[in-house]
Structure 1
């Protein structure tokens, strides 16, 4: 994965070597959506984002064991346009800062979520051709109950688009290097989100998704 880190070097946005988290209190901006959905943004939450990107893309026993997947589209099986890795409860996570993020988010959203974040999903978008189609995290309780999905983004900025389920005017947010985005309320049930493909020259990006138990 060293070529991915090399591709990132063209747009370094965080020159701090120490990987850590800035405070959430007083820095989170909430955007209400419709039907009880909302989105929170905390720009620059992660410090040392370049260093974390390097750690997660190392090969061998370090970093994330990135995996490709196959899925059926229409009448044929195709490669999923991104690499993936899911970390469940009780499984060693790839870096201590991801566990620190889980704990800090669980504490900050305790009054609203009323349960901790427990799992970590990882997606690696190698360039602008990698994407994720419109969807909601509706497997399990996300299909029937309000919940939260927190996303930490490192690497090249990408657009996250949201639209009401069933159609309607979309919202487009650019998530940058070290930014935090949290989708909450009814967002997974009543809205959909996507990372669209882009023909613009963009480098790699890692998305770290933290979720409560039973949400996927």
Structure 2
């Protein structure tokens, strides 16, 4: 079942087995445009391989990581200090979420063919109820959540300057994706701030 009513709701939203925060104009458009151009030119973008179905493939997007060394899907991200340009954005997300973040995964979607497949951010280092704050800059892209048990979907258009926070049990009961599209799309940058307990596996 698809629920489209969230387009009209902002702020904290309770969904079945989860919790979201949605603000499509979290950062004013003119400021968001400047941030997009700065990040696109200043972050160390790279296209790295991950393991899917037992084989190594290049991710269908560019990435940059800031935080301690971290691994997922067979991909090992080296430790990197968060640049000043991201610290103020992190602070704004923390004030809204009430959570302190120590890491950020930046994604660069170059066009409509770059995408993020269905997945959950449920690594043990993130804890049982992780808060993932997603800031978007540049081109608008479709973002879809799907409940693992009921199949219910929630959909958002993530425009430049928008903030979507996934909290509560969302990562336990929901998957999310940024589908590819045949429509002409310019580049988009997505910053996903998170708090990782790097001692969780020890």
TM-score normalised over the length of structure 1: 0.75
Please state whether the residue corresponding to 1:123 is helix, strand or coil.
strand
Instruction: Say yes or no: does 1:100 pair with 2:127.
Output: no
CA distance in 2, matches of 1:187, 1:202: 28
CA distance in 2, matches of 1:209, 1:88: 12
Gaps of 5+ in 2: 1-8, 69-78
RMSD: 2.2
Higher strand share: 2
Instruction: Say yes or no: does 1:121 pair with 2:102.
Output: no
Measured against aligned partners, the alpha-carbon deviations of 1:120-148 in whole angstroms (never above 9, x if no partner) come to 11000001100111111111244x51121
Residue among 78, 83, 87 paired with 2:66: 87
TM-score normalised over the length of structure 2: 0.80
How far did residue 159 of structure 1 move? 0.7
CA distance in 1, matches of 2:54, 2:124: 27
The answer to whether the 8 Å contact 1:141/1:214 transfers is: yes
Residue in 2 aligned with 1:29?
Answer: 11
Please state whether the residue corresponding to 1:103 is helix, strand or coil.
helix
Residue in 2 aligned with 1:9?
Answer: none
Q: How many residues align?
A: 178
Please state whether the residue corresponding to 1:66 is helix, strand or coil.
coil
Question: Within 5 Å, which residues of 2 pair with 1:9-88?
Answer: 28-35=10-17, 37-47=18-28, 48-58=31-41, 63-74=42-53, 76-88=55-67
- Going from structure 1 to structure 2, the CA distance change for 1:65 and 1:107 (only over 3 Å counts) comes to same
Please state whether the residue corresponding to 1:168 is helix, strand or coil.
coil
CA distance in 2, matches of 1:124, 1:196: 14
Gaps of 5+ in 1: 1-26
The answer to whether the 8 Å contact 2:97/2:165 transfers is: no
